[in-house]
């Protein structure tokens, strides 16, 4: 009986790009065996995985997307020869080719490539926050007649590029409104897209709502915006060809209306007669990056 095992030099299997991957190949055999070569192969790929619970439109199609190859390298450790009985160690998926009549020996182990913040390229960060304004003329959906005729104006600014560890910050001011305000909320949206043939299929999910104001706020008073990102539901913005994960932040103003009381369970991201909104793209970055590979 023969076995082969890969033992890396670090128990946590974490290496950095500037460091060599070190370890050893351990072969145990009860008798001498002949082989046609010992090869070490490193494979790295990105795989789409379905989260728990009911699958959405995009997730239901994940099965047709092939893994995206990041890295594949192979190196010959030993040419053909013979391995003596007992335990043999080679310093380094390892494959030992034994010919047509014998099953090849192989072993697989995962390792992680981790990049420190200091090693990452500095991402461009906008020196100023994005300025926005919301009026009856900026809305593309129908509004209540009293909103359309009386008008309203909300101005503000908000950061649209930030780290996963930092909050979204900004401020807004209600300058005028002919109808009392019921609530002002910040919606965090995640857009997942995949390329299926020649079509791009996208799905948008509301992952967090943060209330900025409750009730009819004073006019011309500056309200702070401070949104802490949900770490388990966010990730760095990803644009990877066959798939992408992007984020948006939406300022939603809900006005007092008897009609809104009849639709308490309506989707908050769907435009309604009593809602006004402004949506901005949000780019998220990460301070420490990990990549997981299989050797």
Where do the domains of the chain lie?
Answer: 2-113, 119-293
Give residue 179's pLDDT band: very low, low, confident or very high (50, 70, 90).
very high
Mean pLDDT of 183-206: 87
Q: pTM for the full model?
A: 0.61
* Cα-based angle 38, 42, 48 (whole degrees, multiple of 5): 140
What pLDDT, on a 0 to 100 scale, did the predictor assign at position 34? 84
**Residue 193 clears pLDDT 60, i.e. is over it:** yes
Give residue 292's pLDDT band: very low, low, confident or very high (50, 70, 90).
low
Query: pLDDT per residue over 148-178, tens digit each?
Result: 999 999 999 999 998 888 899 999 999 999 9
* Domain covering 2-113 in this structure, CATH number: 2.60.40.640
What is the Cα gyration radius of the chain? Answer: 28
Taking the CA atoms of 194, 198, 199 and 200 in sequence, report the sign of the dihedral they define: positive
Q: Which CATH class is domain 119-293?
A: mainly beta
Mean pLDDT of 181-194: 92
Q: For the chain, what is the HEC assignment?
A: CEEEEEEECCCCCEECCCCCCCEEEEEEECCCEEECCEEEEEEEEECCCCCCCCCCCCHHHHHHCCCEEEEEEEEEEECCEEECCEEEEEECCEEECCCCCCCCEEECCEEEEEECHHHCCCCCCCCCCEEEEEECCCCCCCCCHHHHHHCEEEEEEECCEEECCCCEEEEEEEEEECCCEEEEEEEEEEEEEEEECCEEEEEEEEEEEEEEEECCCCCCCEEEEEECCCHHHCCCCEECCCEEEEEEEEEEEEECCCCHHHHCCCCCCCCCCCEEEEEEEEEEECCCEEEEEEC
Query: pLDDT per residue over 96-147, tens digit each?
Result: 556 666 666 667 777 666 665 554 444 444 446 899 999 999 999 999 999 9
Question: Which of 63, 95, 60 minimizes the C-alpha distance to 77?
Answer: 95
């Amino acid at each position: 009986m023969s076995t082969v095992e890969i033992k890396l030099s670090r128990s946590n299997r974490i290496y950095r790009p500037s460091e060599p991957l070190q370890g050893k190949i351990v072969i145990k055999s009860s008798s001498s065996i002949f082989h046609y070569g010992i090869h070490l192969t490193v494979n790295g790929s990105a795989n789409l995985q379905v989260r728990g619970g009911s699958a959405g439109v995009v997730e239901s199609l994940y099965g047709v997307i092939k893994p995206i190859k990041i890295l594949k390298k192979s190196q010959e450790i030993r040419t053909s020869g013979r391995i003596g009985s007992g335990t043999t160690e080679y310093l380094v998926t390892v494959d030992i080719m034994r010919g047509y009549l014998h099953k090849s020996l192989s072993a697989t182990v995962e390792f992680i490539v981790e990049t420190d913040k200091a090693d990452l390229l500095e991402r461009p960060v906008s020196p100023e926050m994005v300025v926005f304004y919301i009026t009856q003329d900026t809305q593309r959906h129908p509004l209540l007649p009293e909103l359309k005729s009386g008008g309203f104006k909300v101005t503000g600014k908000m950061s649209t590029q930030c780290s996963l560890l930092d909050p979204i910050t900004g401020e807004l001011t209600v300058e005028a409104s002919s109808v009392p305000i019921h609530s002002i909320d910040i919606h965090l949206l995640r857009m997942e897209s995949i390329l299926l043939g020649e079509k791009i299929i996208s799905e948008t999910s509301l992952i967090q709502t943060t209330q900025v104001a409750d009730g009819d706020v004073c006019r011309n008073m500056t309200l702070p915006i401070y949104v802490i990102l949900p770490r388990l539901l966010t990730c760095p913005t990803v644009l990877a060809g066959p798939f992408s994960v992007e984020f948006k932040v939406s300022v939603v103003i809900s006005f007092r209306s008897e009609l809104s009381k009849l639709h308490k369970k309506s989707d908050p991201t769907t435009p309604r007669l009593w809602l006004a909104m402004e949506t901005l793209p949000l780019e998220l970055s990460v301070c420490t990056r990990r990549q997981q590979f299989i050797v």
